[in-house]
Structure 1
Amino acid sequence: MPLLTPYVASRSSDRGTLQSALGIGFTAKGPHLVYRDERPEDRDKHGNLWVRVEESDDPGHIQYDSLHPTRQRTCMEQLLCQICARPADRNKDGWLFIDWRRQDSPPTWPEKSLTTMPPLCTEHAHISTHQCPFLRRDEHLLLRVRKPHLHGVAGTLYTLTTTGWTTTDNGQLSPYNQPQYPGMLASLLIRQLHGVKVVDHP
Structure 2
Amino acid sequence: MSSTGVRPVLYRDGTPVPFITAWSGEHMPSQPVAEVCRRGGTGLGFVDEQIHVDRQYGALWVRMPAVRTGQPELRAVHALRQRQAMSRLLCQMCGGPTVGIRDDERTLFLMGAAGGHPICEGERTSSPPVHPVCARLAVENCPRLRRGWAAALVSYTPVWGVQGVMYSPKTLEPEPDVSVSFMDARRLRWVLASRLLVTLEGVTAVNDLDALCEDSEFTEMV
- Per residue, is there more helix in 1 or in 2? 2
* SS of residue matched to 2:203: strand
1:25 is matched with which residue? 36
Could you tell me how far apart the structure 2 residues matched to 1:117 and 1:187 are?
Answer: 13
2:5 is matched with which residue? none
- Decide which of 161, 173, 179 is 1:152's aligned counterpart: 161
- Decide which of 1, 18, 28 is 1:16's aligned counterpart: 28
Distance 1:123 1:56, change over 3 A: closer
Bigger mean CA offset, 88-97 vs 183-192:
88-97
Could you tell me how far apart the structure 2 residues matched to 1:73 and 1:28 are?
Answer: 24
Structure 2: 5+ residue runs without aligned partners?
1-10, 213-222
Q: How many residues are treated as equivalent by the alignment?
A: 192
Structure 1: 5+ residue runs without aligned partners?
none
2:74 is matched with which residue? 64
1:111 deviates by 1.7
- Per residue, is there more strand in 1 or in 2? 1
Could you tell me how far apart the structure 1 residues matched to 2:48 and 2:136 are?
Answer: 43
Q: Within 5 Å, which residues of 2 pair with 1:9-158?
A: 9-19=21-31, 21-27=32-38, 29-39=40-50, 40-44=52-56, 46-54=57-65, 59-88=69-98, 90-91=101-102, 92=104, 94-101=106-113, 109-137=119-147, 139-158=148-167
Amino acid across the alignment from 1:100: G
Q: CA RMSD in A?
A: 2.5
Could you tell me how far apart the structure 2 residues matched to 1:87 and 1:127 are?
Answer: 17
1:17 deviates by 4.6
Amino acid across the alignment from 1:129: V
Contact 2:90 2:98 in 1 (8 A): yes
Structure 1 residues 98-139: Cα deviation after superposition (integer angstroms, max 9, x where no partner): 023499xxx9842222111111122211111111111012x3
- Asked if 1:3 is matched to 2:9, the reply is no
* SS of residue matched to 2:25: coil
Distance 1:79 1:28, change over 3 A: closer
- Decide which of 176, 185, 208 is 1:179's aligned counterpart: 185
Bigger mean CA offset, 9-18 vs 33-42:
9-18
* SS of residue matched to 1:72: helix
Amino acid across the alignment from 1:166: E
Contact 1:99 1:115 in 2 (8 A): no
Distance 1:148 1:159, change over 3 A: same
1:192 is matched with which residue? 199
Distance 1:180 1:10, change over 3 A: farther
Amino acid across the alignment from 1:122: P
Distance 1:71 1:180, change over 3 A: farther
Structure 1 residues 2-27: Cα deviation after superposition (integer angstroms, max 9, x where no partner): 211111001233222514x2121124
Could you tell me how far apart the structure 2 residues matched to 1:130 and 1:16 are?
Answer: 30
1:173 deviates by 0.4
Structure 1 residues 18-37: Cα deviation after superposition (integer angstroms, max 9, x where no partner): 14x21211246543111111
* SS of residue matched to 1:31: strand
